Amino acid sequence: MIKLTHEENLIADRIKVLKNAAGTHSPSIFTVLEKIPELEIKVDACFLSNPYATDLFVEHLKEKLIDTGKIRDVLEFYPSQNAVIAELLSNYLGINKQSIFIGNGAIEIIQAILHNYTRKKIVVNIPTFSSYYEFLKNNTEVVYNKLLKEENFELNIDAYIELVKKEKPDTIVLINPNNPNGGYIKYKNFIYLIEELSFVNTIIVDESFIHFAYEDYSFEMKSIAHLVESFQNLVVVKSMSKDFGIAGIRAGYGVMSKDRVSSLLKNGYLWNSSGLAEFFFRLYIREDFLKEYEHVRVKYIRETQTYFNKLSKIKELKVYPSLANFALIELLDGTKSDEFVSTLLIRYGIYSRTCNDKIGLDGEFIRLASRTSEENATIIHTLNEIFS
């Protein structure tokens, strides 16, 4: 069991103050370093993104915007309107442009859907991404469906369907793979689930981590976004922050019925992209970029799964199965998750996420992201040292 020194405890207290100020999220690495400059962060394993994709994007940005001087235009002028960018994506996604809604990050789409389409009652699986209950308007009833530790936090589809049929919510949310555990619902099970739940007014499926999931070793990703045409109650939310490693740009899109898109655009969301987000979206639909991206996506998945395997060999940790780019980890040696996360940060410069603010988790849990293979090796090395 880990024990912090008195001095380390003082820093740990300051970290807690920042964490509390950030609510049920982690303070950004910038905030942490600004407020506690004596910390040295070597690995940000709090942050859920593919660093190889960031490299790829930075390369294209350098070549196409910085070296050409075109960055000035991207900064100076208004980006295109929402519908113009939706039209760009339409061909690539194979989805009608009127069913695509561009967001300033997925979080804006989540907010728009919950504020506009969730009325009385929502079913949320826990543990989950907290915005799905925190962003609700007042007076919305939340029914929490607890994913069970004994079932590795995987969704029990039949029990879930039964619960939804009983509760009759107007909205349900499924994150696939789920955050913070990485549990994945297979494509064919999803179809079954959606067909069974056609009476639910709004089915939100958050595919922000879908690029890291796979069903066989072709590593093909299986989005259900195209089902929106058949299922008018489906809303697919997609962040670009994780798979493309560009959280700072704030880019996301939602796929939903034409009526919903037009009603959202009717009185808002006009220039909610930025110049850089538009640049990204224009890159995202290019065949040459996608080919390069596919390479770093599969490379990252392979390294991530290797990393999870190595983590799972440490007997003081229980690593829950994940098809995302992070793993939910239970501390089995009696250490409190807060203390463990503080030690990792203060003593080893590894920023990880305590999960003690996640409702629906009984026990001491942390979440570790997968980063570059070198960074993952540092994490493994450090954990082995801690538990040796």
Nearer to a copy of itself, 27 or 177 (CB): 27
Residue 142 as a binder of a copy of itself (CB under 8 A): the answer is no
Residue 51 to residues 9, 152, 266, 272, 347: CA-CA distances in angstroms?
Answer: 31, 27, 37, 25, 24
Q: Which of 206, 222, 179 is closest to 110 using CA atoms?
A: 206
Nearer to a copy of itself, 51 or 180 (CB): 51
> Which two three-digit tokens encode residue 161?
């369907």
The least CB distance from residue 371 to a copy of itself, in Å, is 11
CB atoms within 10 A of CB 243: 24
Binding test (CB under 8 A) with a copy of itself, winner from 4, 71, 157, 377 = 71
Within 8 A by CB and 6+ apart from 330, the residues are: 149, 317, 318, 320, 363, 364, 365
Nearer to a copy of itself, 1 or 84 (CB): 84
Residue 61 as a binder of a copy of itself (CB under 8 A): the answer is yes
| Cα–Cα distance, 127 to 202 (Å, whole number) | 20
The least CB distance from residue 144 to a copy of itself, in Å, is 17
Instruction: Find the part of the chain contacting a copy of itself (CB under 8 A) among 194-202, 203-211, 274-282, 380-388.
Output: 274-282
Binding test (CB under 8 A) with a copy of itself, winner from 1, 20, 40, 72 = 72
Nearer to a copy of itself, 138 or 388 (CB): 138
Residue 208 as a binder of a copy of itself (CB under 8 A): the answer is no
Q: What is the largest CA-CA distance in the chain?
A: 60
Q: Which of 45, 41, 38 is closest to 308 using CA atoms?
A: 45
> Which two three-digit tokens encode residue 379?
């994490």
The least CB distance from residue 287 to a copy of itself, in Å, is 18
Nearer to a copy of itself, 225 or 240 (CB): 240
> Which two three-digit tokens encode residue 184?
């994945």
Over the window 182 to 201, marking each residue x when it contacts a copy of itself by CB under 8 A and - when it does not, the resulting string is: --------------------
Residue 161 as a binder of a copy of itself (CB under 8 A): the answer is no
Question: Which residues from 74-103 bind a copy of itself, rule CB under 8 A?
Answer: 74-81, 83-84
Q: Where are the beta strands (DSSP E) in 207-325?
A: 234-239, 252-255, 317-319
Give the SS3 label for residue 280. helix
Residue 376 as a binder of a copy of itself (CB under 8 A): the answer is no
Nearer to a copy of itself, 137 or 381 (CB): 137
| Cα–Cα distance, 383 to 388 (Å, whole number) | 8
| Cα–Cα distance, 233 to 239 (Å, whole number) | 20
Residue 247 as a binder of a copy of itself (CB under 8 A): the answer is yes
Instruction: Find the part of the chain contacting a copy of itself (CB under 8 A) among 42-50, 222-230, 303-311, 336-344.
Output: 42-50
| Cα–Cα distance, 85 to 76 (Å, whole number) | 18
> Residues in the site for a copy of itself, rule: CB under 8 A?
21-23, 25, 27-31, 44, 47, 49, 51, 54, 57-58, 61, 66, 71-81, 83-84, 104-105, 107-108, 111, 114-115, 131, 134-138, 241, 245-250, 267-278
